[in-house]
Structure 1
Amino acid sequence: MAHTPVNHPARPIYRAIGGLIGLYLVLFGLLGFFASTGDPFFGQGDTQVLGQGTNLGFSLVSIVIGAVVLAGTVIGRNLDVLINQWSAYLIMVVSLGGLAFLRTDANIFNLSVATVIVLMLLSLALLMSGMYSKVGTDEEHEAWQKARLVL
């Protein structure tokens, strides 16, 4: 994408933000896993972790997504950009789906309003992190600067 910044000066900060989001997802998933052990996989009980509704299924999903984001952050080489953007889209879909089915039997992840808000904020921050942490050559940076000035 020509409009995505290449070699942004705050790139290390955005990469760290992505890593912290991955770490939060893993931590939330682990706490949710231990809190909901023994409950049904997609149970709709009153299990809460960090003020957010969860169940065993959503805890495992959080652990997997967080681990993938952390692995992308460690690997780098623009793989983190791709992982952060697609993970952000996935988290947005889950949170919007959870909002749509919040008070129904289709709420398989036992999401609450607080969970939906936190997931949406995390996904937006992760998307921002993916958009500003792209690394490229000096020629790509110069081409981006020229395209930016034309717009």
Structure 2
Amino acid sequence: MHLPINHRKRPLWRLLAGLSSLYLLAFGLLGVIATAGLGFFDDSDTRMLGLRVNPALAWLCAVLGAVALAATIIGRDAAMIVHLGVGGVLILGGLAALALLSTSANKLSLDLSTCVVAFLVGSVLLTAGLYGKTGPPREAVVEEVLRHSTRPGDKFAVEPNAE
């Protein structure tokens, strides 16, 4: 799999990942406040930022948002791994929630709009993770030469001057 090194759009995706992480964190923290006093898996119709929320979902979003925001602030390759992980968790969680929407197993009190938001935020974080790889300029040039090459041996034959 090709993961670009030092991609020119990395700052844009890092900004979008930070905004998505802030949204998750804000939704989680506001949800924790709004659902204070309810049972952890309560099935009430409490709404926060237009989405249904219960304490379990609020805490889950607050933790995922805090982890993703911390990774965005720290940056580097650790952020790439965390963004890929959190984005994957949100997308897979959204798929699982779609399967459980009308069942008694829907313990997080999810609805269709919550699934759509999970897909959107997860897609942004996943894409930010794909564009988040960093490295020395020489390694980035070698990777670009290999990516545009049609001959398998070019990676070892090319010695670019990227200093």
Query: Do the two structures share a fold, i.e. TM-score over 0.5?
Result: yes
Is 1:116 matched up with 2:115?
yes
Amino acid in structure 1 at the alignment position of 2:143: W
Q: Counterparts of 1:1-151 in structure 2 under 5 Å?
A: 1=1, 3-150=2-149
TM-score by length of 1: 0.95
Give the whole-Å Cα distance in 2 for the aligned partners of 1:40 and 1:94.
Answer: 22
Gaps of 5+ in 1: none
Gaps of 5+ in 2: 151-163
Corresponding pairs, count: 150
- Say which one has the larger Rg: 2
Aligned partners of 2:17 and 2:72 also within 8 Å:
yes
Q: CA deviation at 1:122?
A: 0.7
Aligned partners of 2:54 and 2:109 also within 8 Å:
yes
Q: CA deviation at 1:138?
A: 1.3
Aligned-residue sequence identity (percent) comes to 37
Amino acid in structure 2 at the alignment position of 1:98: A
Amino acid in structure 2 at the alignment position of 1:129: A
Q: Which runs of 4+ in 1 moved over 3 A?
A: none
Q: CA deviation at 1:77?
A: 2.0
Give the whole-Å Cα distance in 1 for the aligned partners of 2:99 and 2:39.
Answer: 22
Aligned partners of 2:84 and 2:126 also within 8 Å:
yes
TM-score by length of 2: 0.88
Amino acid in structure 1 at the alignment position of 2:51: Q
Instruction: Name whichever of 115-124 and 34-43 sits farther off.
Output: 34-43
Give the whole-Å Cα distance in 1 for the aligned partners of 2:104 and 2:39.
Answer: 14
State the Cα RMSD in Å. Answer: 1.1
Task: Write out per-residue CA displacement over residues 119-145 of structure 1, whole angstroms, 9 at most, x where no aligned residue.
Answer: 001101111111112111112201220
